Amino acid sequence: MKKPVVIIPCSGIGKAYGTICREAVYEVVERRRPDKARTLCLGLLTKGDEEAIDLLKESPCISVDGCAKKCSYKNIERMAEKTSIPFTIMDLFRKHRDLNPNDLDLGTVLHLGEGGKYLVHLLADEICHVMDRMGDKDE
Ligand code: SF4
């Protein structure tokens, strides 16, 4: 059976964008593509956990980052020595020009507002779209 895609959100503590990334990943791995995707704690990777690194080396990977520092993308590259398919909140805004972050009710780290929930939905859509295209290529 084909290996599930490993999707790693950044840890994003203290920012609603971090929560949006994590929630979008949960949406994909728990609700939309539970048989095709799994997630992994970024902290395990940064501390050099061998099991986590091995899993990443042998699986397709997606990184989801809340800001330009791209912690998930860079740590996957550094620790597993591979390139992940990158998603960032900024790319989402670049793609959806009608969305203005200043006009959205993002909410807080603990409780996303309607705008934050909408971004979770959009980000999960984008991730699923790319995953489905990856599946098509393998067939
Ligand atoms: S990418 Fe940005 S928001 Fe995410 S963990 Fe790194 S610094 Fe925080």
Query: What is residue 73's predicted lDDT score, i.e. its pLDDT?
Result: 98
Nearest atom of ligand 1 to the alpha carbon of 65 = 1
Query: What is residue 138's predicted lDDT score, i.e. its pLDDT?
Result: 59
CB-based contacts of 57: which residues, under 8 Å, 6+ apart?
A: 80, 81, 82
Report the nearest-CA residue for atom 8 of ligand 1: 12
Mean pLDDT for 103-113 is: 94
Distance from Cα 130 to the centre of ligand 1, integer Å: 22
* SS3 letters across 42-108: HHHHHCCCHHHHHHHHHCCEEEEECCCCCHHHHHHHHHHCCCCEEEEHHHHHHHCCCCCHHHCCCEC
Six-digit token string for 42:
């970024």
Query: What is residue 101's predicted lDDT score, i.e. its pLDDT?
Result: 87
Digit-coded pLDDT (tens) for 72-102:
999 999 999 999 999 999 999 999 999 988 8
Distance from Cα 100 to the centre of ligand 1, integer Å: 20
Q: Which helix (H) or strand (E) holds 119?
A: helix 114-138
Handedness of CA 78, 83, 84, 85 (dihedral sign): positive
Greater pLDDT, 135 or 27: 27
Distance from Cα 72 to the centre of ligand 1, integer Å: 8
Kindly list the domain boundaries of the chain, sorted by start residue. Answer: 5-128
Distance from Cα 69 to the centre of ligand 1, integer Å: 6
- Whole-angstrom distance, CA of residue 56 vs CA of residue 73: 12
Digit-coded pLDDT (tens) for 1-51:
588 999 999 998 888 999 999 999 999 999 999 999 999 999 999 999 999
Query: What is residue 2's predicted lDDT score, i.e. its pLDDT?
Result: 80
Q: Is 11 touching ligand 1 by the criterion CB < 6 Å? A: yes
Whether the predicted pLDDT of 137 surpasses 70? no
